[in-house]
């Protein structure tokens, strides 16, 4: 399959492109920095600056991962607008590509996030759970709605609501490991908020599963079947590192430092990957101990 990937130089995108390449697929990547992208992507990857640059080489499948990190900066109104635009602009370009091709892609796998559900407390969250209306939900809802605009062109659209992605060379763990290795880690706020997580390799396998199974469309929770609270995650990571984790970050301090963005750190969703498991997908790393053991044992 010829697969176009947006966000191909990111933490998930790099691994996905390598995996697709190793499996013999043709990989196309839209990147605003083509030379830099070629330096981190598999040899032979066709890298062009814009999605619409591939009108002359139509993809059979598209994986849309582009978007500015949601927890990267304090949420000013300008930053909120950047978070929205960085997702919608690329997704709209993908839809336009579909509209302009005589033979549109068969499938679009488009990223969304656990933020679609907003704060869900301790209830179990499946793809049918009604969302809590807040900024992150509205952001994800617009992102998903834009992706589904490809459906009238005959494109099957699958939406992956991604949890916290764990891997050995980036992502959340890259930010957490330095303080935890110094014994300076600890729970955030009460620690009772759920952290739906997924090993990066399982997420890549899930995306490929959705590319390959023609009967699958709509939203899928992209998280391991054993979500944990922030306190459980903290204890497990500390145990793997053989370090204490006794320094909590109080909720008021996080709100003072990050403003509204602190909600991402202090709230969560107890997500279950109900639909993808019903479709027959099996996780290689269903438990946090297994995932951290593989990542930190490298």
Alpha carbon of residue 80 to chain centroid: 18
Q: What's the mean pLDDT in 99-114?
A: 97
pTM across the whole model: 0.95
pLDDT at 120: 95
Question: pLDDT over 70 for what percent of the chain?
Answer: 99
Residue 263 in this model has a pLDDT that exceeds 90: no
Q: Give residue 254's pLDDT.
A: 82
- How many other CB atoms sit within 10 Å of the CB of residue 77? 7
pLDDT digits (tens, 9 = 90+) for 125-147: 999 999 999 999 999 999 999 99
Q: Which of 257-261, 269-273, 291-295 has the lowest mean pLDDT?
A: 257-261
| pLDDT at res. 247 | 86
Report the alpha-carbon distance of residue 255 to residue 245 in Å, rounded.
21
Query: What confidence tier does 16 reach under pLDDT thresholds 50, 70, 90?
Result: very high
Tell me what the mean pLDDT of segment 207-223 comes to: 98
Q: What is the pLDDT of residue 44?
A: 92
Q: Angle at Cα 257 formed by Cα 253 and Cα 258, nearest 5°?
A: 115
Query: Cα dist. 156→30, 102, 151, 152, 213 in Å?
Result: 21, 16, 6, 9, 10
Task: Tell me what the pLDDT averaged over the chain comes to.
Answer: 94
Q: What is the pLDDT of residues 26-41, one digit of tens each?
A: 999 999 999 999 999 9
Question: How many whole angstroms separate alpha carbon 112 and alpha carbon 219?
Answer: 9
- Closest alpha carbon to 143 in 4, 263, 6: 6
Query: d(Cα 38, Cα 24) in Å, to the nearest integer?
Result: 18
Q: What percent of the chain has pLDDT over 90?
A: 82
| Residue 118 clears pLDDT 80, i.e. is over it | yes
- Are the C-beta atoms of residues 59 and 28 closer than 8 Å to each other? yes
Whole-angstrom distance, CA of residue 244 vs CA of residue 70: 29
Domains of the chain: 2-296 (3.40.50.720)
pLDDT over 80 (residue 257) = no
pLDDT tens figures, 183-212: 989 999 999 999 999 999 999 999 999 999
Which of the 8 DSSP states describes residue 245? Answer: -
pLDDT at 67 over 90: no
Question: What is the pLDDT at residue 41?
Answer: 96
């Amino acid at each position: 399959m010829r697969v176009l990937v947006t966000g191909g130089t990111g933490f998930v995108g790099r691994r996905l492109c390598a995996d697709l390449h190793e499996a013999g697929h043709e990989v196309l990547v839209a990147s605003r920095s083509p030379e830099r992208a070629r330096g981190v992507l598999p040899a032979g990857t066709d890298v062009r600056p814009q999605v619409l640059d591939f009108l002359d080489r139509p993809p059979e499948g598209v994986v849309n991962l582009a978007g500015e990190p949601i927890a990267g900066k304090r949420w000013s109104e300008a930053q909120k607008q950047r978070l929205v635009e960085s997702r919608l602009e690329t997704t709209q370009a993908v839809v336009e590509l579909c509209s302009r091709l005589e033979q549109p892609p068969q499938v679009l796998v488009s990223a969304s996030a656990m933020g679609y559900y907003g704060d869900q407390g301790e209830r179990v969250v499946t793809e049918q759970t009604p969302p809590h209306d807040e900024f992150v939900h509205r952001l994800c809802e617009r992102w998903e709605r834009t992706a589904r605009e490809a459906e009238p062109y005959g494109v099957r659209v699958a939406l992956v609501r991604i949890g916290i992605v764990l891997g050995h060379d980036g992502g959340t763990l890259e930010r957490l490991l330095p303080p935890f290795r110094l014994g300076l880690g600890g729970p955030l706020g009460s620690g009772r908020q759920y952290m739906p997580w997924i090993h990066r390799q399982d997420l890549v396998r899930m995306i490929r599963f959705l590319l390959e199974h023609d009967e699958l469309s709509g939203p899928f929770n992209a998280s391991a079947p054993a979500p944990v609270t922030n306190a459980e995650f903290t204890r497990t990571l500390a145990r793997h590192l053989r370090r204490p984790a006794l320094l909590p970050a109080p909720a008021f301090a996080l709100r003072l430092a990050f403003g509204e963005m602190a909600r991402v750190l202090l709230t969560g969703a107890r997500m279950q990957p109900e639909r993808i498991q019903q479709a027959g997908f099996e996780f290689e790393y269903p438990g946090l101990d297994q995932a951290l053991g593989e990542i930190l044992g490298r």
